[in-house]
Chain A
Amino acid sequence: MTNPDSGTAPGGAKLHIEVENLFKVFGPDPQSVVPLLQEGVSKDDILARTGHTVGLRDISLNVERGETFVVMGLSGSGKSTLVRCLNRLIEPTTGTVRLDGEDILALGPRGLRDMRRHTMSMVFQRFGLLPHRTVLTNVTFGLRVQGVGLEERRERASAWIERVGLAGYEHALPSELSGGMQQRVGLARALCTDPEVLLMDEAFSALDPLIRREMQGALVRLQEELSKTIVFITHDLDEALRLGDRVAILKDGFLVQVGTPVEIVTRPADDYVRAFVEDVDRSRVLRARDALEFAAPHATARIDDARGRIDANATLGEALAVIADGGGPVAVVGRNDRVLGVLDGTTALRAVTERPEVANS
């Protein structure tokens, strides 16, 4: 743990952000629409009858400390609205948002500013950098807002600039950098205030596919060291599955499903999610340990048959490669060298090719 702040919050509770029955309605008199929403009137009917646009309806979810929580949805699903309700860039219509058990919707202007300055920072899709300021001054922005002195600002910012791989670009203007580099500035700026929570709104969506993968990798590596609580918004399922410890899927302002990537891929909550996950490369999402569940009822592979070993957390694709190399089943090894089971080629292939069923229909 390189970051003393994370994990030392009051009580060290596991739950970090709790959202309960959150509604957001856009229009002249949002409160008047909430009863209709609770009756279950549809978004289109509400627009037709009252002229109000529904952003979010009855969202309840929990984000655990130190996890990367991804909210996935197509445009108009309300995902950007949801993340802005967490730091109140958008005021929710009704509901509760708690951070470390504290109701942030009850914060006054000063309390809200303090929370934004110290506890929760944000990375934006189109970076949101100051075009007339250098990389260094952009990164120090949060500290400057807090009133931190020049020397300390420079010192802390330089460390982060180096950490995101921009050493040497301190005095460049954002317009002189590529998109990927600009977003590294955005990331350094967000991390520079040493927040507990990082909100990332489609942070990599404006980048080229190759750069996007590179940035995803950079984020994963940073997160391994920092263990921040990250709420990451995306419309890209592959990105969601790659980054998320857990993934929430939003549709038309509804929360459709929350689960680990494996749960989403293997047990989609409805046809909407299933349609999404159908084309996913399961060999990358599933782990060797997950594949064991796909063994046929009377599986015959025994520990003696194993021709190799594979870590339980390796991807199924990696397991398949080992199986192919060794020409036989592999032992799936968990913590403390405990063998969790034996994975043979047939089971592994079944895990890759299975068509997911909707979980509760």
Chain B
Amino acid sequence: MLTFLNQPFPEAWRIPLRGWTNDGVDWLIATYGDVFRGITDTMLLLLVRVERGLAAMPWWLVVLLVAALVWHASGRRIWPAVTLSGLLVLVGTFGLWSEMMTTLAIMLIATLFTIVIGIPIGIAMARSDLVKTLLRPLLDGMQTMPSFVYLVPVVMFFGLGNVAAIIATFIYAVPPIIRLTDLGLRLVDTEVLEAAHAFGASERQTLIWVRLPLALPTIMAGVNQTIMMALAMVVLASMIGARGLGQEVLRGLQRGDVGLGLEAGLAIVFVAIVMDRITAGYSRRWDPTAKER
């Protein structure tokens, strides 16, 4: 007994997780390589469309559109619209306009995916405690697992480039919208729900007419969080070949060009501020309990 306790950790207990994982990844790539390539091509097509669309827009149109969005989201206030669209002009003066458009395209698509996939998962989580119990550790893992760990397999599946960057961003940024959708749906006033049921509303009617509208501000807060996290991934994503502002930061680092790093870094911050104000504005505006409208 004593000899056993004095031993180092028993070698025989070793679980070959490493070997299993590597074999598993190899098997997946060998068997479903075509599927992954298909996903990659489809997403690339979408990305290219969005990117071209953004690039084709004259810069002043983009600035005007952003100004209009901010104006609308902030409850028709002029000053936020002027200052925030001014920030975008500033990025242009750094000579980073087209890089910013690329980053914006990647971001928009990654955000679109998180919303389209995250909200239904959040709904499922709010409906069933079992789903919630199962998903919670997974979401915790997605948020705390160092990104580098899944950057490499993502590249193995989807190749270097923007698509891999979108997938990696998705993994990192999807948990908050799932969590906040779940939270928002669970926080809906029980008496309003009782009323819906008392009038014979089906589960679907209750979800669409009562639960989702009342949870909308919280869900928008989730979208906001998701976008902020997606922006935090921009530099990391450029390590696996994403272009745009992240790539400029990386280039600045590699060349010891502190100025370039600062310019690109500031540009990311500005994009973040603009996106934050727009989504946070809508989160407030759509709050049914707020008096003003």
Binding site for B on A (CB under 8 A): 87, 89, 112-118, 121-122, 124-132, 141-142, 144-146, 173, 175-176, 189, 193, 199
Binds A, one of B55-63, B151-159, B200-208: B200-208
Select one of B191, B192, B202, B289 contacting A175, CB under 8 A.
Answer: B289
Q: Are A128 and B195 within 8 A (Cβ)?
A: yes
B43 CB-CB contact with A under 8 Å: no
Q: Are A126 and B201 within 8 A (Cβ)?
A: no
B267 CB-CB contact with A under 8 Å: no
Q: Which residues from chain A contact B202 at a C-beta distance below 8 Å?
A: 113, 145
Query: Measured between C-beta atoms, what is the minimum distance from A88 to chain B in Å?
Result: 9
Select one of B192, B200, B289, B291 contacting A128, CB under 8 A.
Answer: B192
B4 CB-CB contact with A under 8 Å: no
A141 to B205, CA, bound (A): 11
A145 to B195, CA, bound (A): 12
Given contacts A132-B288, A145-B205, A173-B293, contact A87 B198 (CB under 8 A): yes
Nearest-CB residue, chain A, relative to B210: A130
Report the number of A-B residue pairs with Cβ-Cβ less than 8 Å: 70
Given contacts A131-B214, A132-B214, contact A122 B200 (CB under 8 A): no
B80 CB-CB contact with A under 8 Å: no
Q: Are A145 and B200 within 8 A (Cβ)?
A: yes
A124 to B194, CA, bound (A): 9
A116 to B293, CA, bound (A): 33
Q: Are A128 and B214 within 8 A (Cβ)?
A: no
Nearest-CB residue, chain B, relative to A192: B199
Write the B237-248 contact mask toward A (1 if CB under 8 angstroms, else 0). 000000000000
Q: Are B200 and A124 within 8 A (Cβ)?
A: no
B136 CB-CB contact with A under 8 Å: no
Given contact pairs A128-B195, A131-B288, enumerate 13 new A-B contacts (beta carbons under 8 Å). Answer: A89-B198, A113-B202, A117-B199, A118-B200, A121-B199, A127-B191, A131-B192, A131-B214, A132-B214, A142-B200, A173-B293, A189-B199, A193-B199
Q: Which residues from chain A contact B214 at a C-beta distance below 8 Å?
A: 130-132
Q: Are A145 and B288 within 8 A (Cβ)?
A: no
Q: Are B199 and A142 within 8 A (Cβ)?
A: yes
Q: Are B200 and A115 within 8 A (Cβ)?
A: yes
Q: Are B197 and A129 within 8 A (Cβ)?
A: no
Q: Which residues from chain B contact A114 at a C-beta distance below 8 Å?
A: 200
A115 to B199, CA, bound (A): 9
A125 to B210, CA, bound (A): 18
Q: Are A124 and B293 within 8 A (Cβ)?
A: no
Q: Are A125 and B213 within 8 A (Cβ)?
A: no
Q: Are B191 and A125 within 8 A (Cβ)?
A: yes
A129 to B289, CA, bound (A): 11
Closest 7 CB pairs of A and B: A128-B195, A132-B288, A117-B200, A116-B200, A131-B288, A122-B198, A128-B191
Q: Which residues from chain B contact A122 at a C-beta distance below 8 Å?
A: 194-195, 198-199
Interface size class of B (residues with CB under 8 A): 20 to 34
Q: Are B191 and A124 within 8 A (Cβ)?
A: yes
A89 to B190, CA, bound (A): 12
List, sorted by A's number, 7 A–B pairs whose CB atoms are closer than 8 Å: A114-B200, A115-B200, A116-B200, A130-B214, A131-B214, A142-B200, A199-B198
Write the B214-227 contact mask toward A (1 if CB under 8 angstroms, else 0). 10000000000000
Q: Which residues from chain A contact B293 at a C-beta distance below 8 Å?
A: 173
Task: Find the residue from A113, A128, A176 having the highest chain B CB count within 10 A.
Answer: A128
Nearest-CB residue, chain A, relative to B290: A175
Query: Measured between C-beta atoms, what is the minimum distance from A357 to chain B in Å?
Result: 41
Write the B173-202 contact mask toward A (1 if CB under 8 angstroms, else 0). 000000000000000010110111111111
Q: Which residues from chain B contact A112 at a C-beta distance below 8 Å?
A: 200
Nearest-CB residue, chain B, relative to A116: B200
A121 to B197, CA, bound (A): 10
Query: Measured between C-beta atoms, what is the minimum distance from B120 to chain A in Å?
Result: 22
A215 to B165, CA, bound (A): 62
Given contacts A126-B191, A131-B288, A175-B289, contact A145 B210 (CB under 8 A): no
Q: Which residues from chain A contact B289 at a C-beta distance below 8 Å?
A: 131, 175
A329 to B210, CA, bound (A): 61
Task: Find the residue from B189, B195, B288, B289 having the highest chain A CB count within 10 A.
Answer: B195
A263 to B19, CA, bound (A): 83
A176 to B293, CA, bound (A): 11
Query: Measured between C-beta atoms, what is the minimum distance from A79 to chain B in Å?
Result: 15
Given contacts A173-B293, A175-B289, A175-B291, contact A130 B198 (CB under 8 A): no
A87 to B291, CA, bound (A): 33
A144 to B288, CA, bound (A): 20
Q: Are B191 and A116 within 8 A (Cβ)?
A: no
Nearest-CB residue, chain A, relative to B206: A145
Query: Measured between C-beta atoms, what is the minimum distance from B199 to chain A in Å?
Result: 4
Given contacts A131-B214, A141-B199, contact A89 B194 (CB under 8 A): yes
Given contacts A129-B192, A131-B214, A145-B205, contact A121 B288 (CB under 8 A): no
Given contacts A130-B210, A132-B213, contact A145 B201 (CB under 8 A): yes
Q: Which residues from chain B contact A129 at a C-beta distance below 8 Å?
A: 192, 195
A128 to B288, CA, bound (A): 13
A144 to B199, CA, bound (A): 10
Q: Are B194 and A113 within 8 A (Cβ)?
A: no
A73 to B36, CA, bound (A): 65
A193 to B198, CA, bound (A): 12
Nearest-CB residue, chain A, relative to B198: A122
A132 to B217, CA, bound (A): 12
Q: Which residues from chain A contact B200 at a C-beta distance below 8 Å?
A: 112-118, 142, 145-146
A130 to B288, CA, bound (A): 9
Q: Which residues from chain A contact B291 at a C-beta distance below 8 Å?
A: 175-176
Query: Measured between C-beta atoms, what is the minimum distance from B212 to chain A in Å?
Result: 11
Query: Measured between C-beta atoms, what is the minimum distance from A205 to chain B in Å?
Result: 13
Q: Which residues from chain B contact A176 at a C-beta distance below 8 Å?
A: 291
Query: Measured between C-beta atoms, what is the minimum distance from B39 to chain A in Å?
Result: 38
Write the B255-283 contact mask toward A (1 if CB under 8 angstroms, else 0). 00000000000000000000000000000
